[in-house]
Structure 1
Amino acid sequence: MIKQYLPSTVPSWVKWTPVIILFLFLIMLGFGISIYNHTMDNKRDGFEQSSEIAMEQTALVSVDQVERYHGEEYYHVVTGTTEDGEKGFAFVPQGDQQKPVRLILEKNIMNENEMKNQWKKSCSSCSFISMNLGINGDTYLWEIKYIDEQDRYVFDYYNAMNGEKFGNYRLRQSLY
């Protein structure tokens, strides 16, 4: 006698549930990737134009990098080199086209590594995040971001000419 098996007695909705869940997951993943790409494009919006402005209005002949700096005013900081091969930083104002583009050469400010080493001496147990150049009025600043020993997100600002502390912001984490 041959044994015969019964056909599956699983309801059809149970068969379709994993397919629907997978389909919804793929839609959400695609939507998340789309939002991320759109946000990153907005973040880099105007970098190409700022690079061109920096090369037209300053001594920079090539551009290596463009970053954003939000202090009292919003700037694109264009890092590049001059014809003499010197590294320079052009500050291209955003929003107010009447302000001039400023250029400072690396040799005229405190070196990034020197500034970072000075900071490390004052905060040895801190967790470094990033460092970039900024401007506040007529003062060039090094902005150092890190997590301090009390688990706060900190922005420290140092005068880029002499390394003196200019100010800071400390953001504590919320427990809620």
Structure 2
Amino acid sequence: MRIRQSSRFTGPKWLKWSLLISIIILISCFIYMIFLYVDLKESKTAGYAETERQLLKANALTEVTAIKTFNGEKAYHVVFGKDGKEEKIIFYPLEGKKKNLTTINQSEIIAEDAIIDDWKQQCNQCEFVKITPALVNENALWELTYKDQSGRYVLDYLSIYDGSRYEQYRLKRMFN
């Protein structure tokens, strides 16, 4: 008489191994994606701590509240902070050893919220992306980025002092 042995998995061995290998590959891809995300996030804010340290050391600011990056003809860290009692925006160039800082008092400019509110009234069918202070040809500007009603990606440069348009780029999609 034959005794039949029971097993938990009665299917073919190749199916068992294929399933195990697929699970290992999926887990590996997931771990790789997490490391890639963390690395990209760190590279986006690379140098912020050094910029903050340099500005505090040079007494340009007493407190740093935020740092953004502007990439135009030249790349800058845009530093928001306080110098005693006044709030300032400093454009800190990323290239070169000698840093020629451009400093703007926030009390002299049109507020970011006012620019966005004015834009919403002019373009109510548009999708807002972001707003960043910009420095183009030594002109302090707001870089307003959005998608217009035609689906074009728009970079609108407005004066930081009076809101007048300096220049505008409308990029159309080549592929849908």
How many residues align? The count is 172
Shift of 1:6: 6.9
For the residues of structure 1 that align with 2:101 and 2:130, how far apart are their CA atoms?
25
Which amino acid in structure 1 is aligned with residue 163 of structure 2? G
Shift of 1:106: 0.6
Structure 1 outlier segments of 4+, above 4 Å: 4-9
Conserved 8 A contact 1:65-1:80: yes
Q: Which residue of 2 is the match for residue 121 of structure 1?
A: 121
TM-score normalised per structure 2: 0.89
TM-score normalised per structure 1: 0.89
For the residues of structure 2 that align with 1:12 and 1:79, how far apart are their CA atoms?
63
Conserved 8 A contact 1:153-1:172: yes
Shift of 1:123: 1.2
Q: Which residue of 1 is the match for residue 80 of structure 2?
A: 79
Which amino acid in structure 2 is aligned with residue 96 of structure 1? G
Shift of 1:23: 0.7
Is 1:142 aligned to 2:142, yes or no?
A: yes
Which amino acid in structure 2 is aligned with residue 134 of structure 1? A
Shift of 1:9: 4.6
Identity of aligned residues (%): 27
Q: Which residue of 1 is the match for residue 163 of structure 2?
A: 163
Which amino acid in structure 1 is aligned with residue 158 of structure 2? Y
What's the Cα RMSD here?
A: 1.9
Q: Which residue of 1 is the match for residue 35 of structure 2?
A: 34
1:1-176 matches, within 5 Å, as 9-57=10-58, 59-84=60-85, 86-175=86-175
Partner of 1:65, secondary structure, is strand
For the residues of structure 1 that align with 2:58 and 2:118, how far apart are their CA atoms?
33
Compared with structure 1, are the counterparts of its residues 125 and 58 closer, same or farther at alpha carbon in structure 2 (3 Å cutoff)? farther
Gaps of at least 5 residues in structure 1 are none
Gaps of at least 5 residues in structure 2 are none
Partner of 1:60, secondary structure, is coil
For the residues of structure 2 that align with 1:9 and 1:32, how far apart are their CA atoms?
35
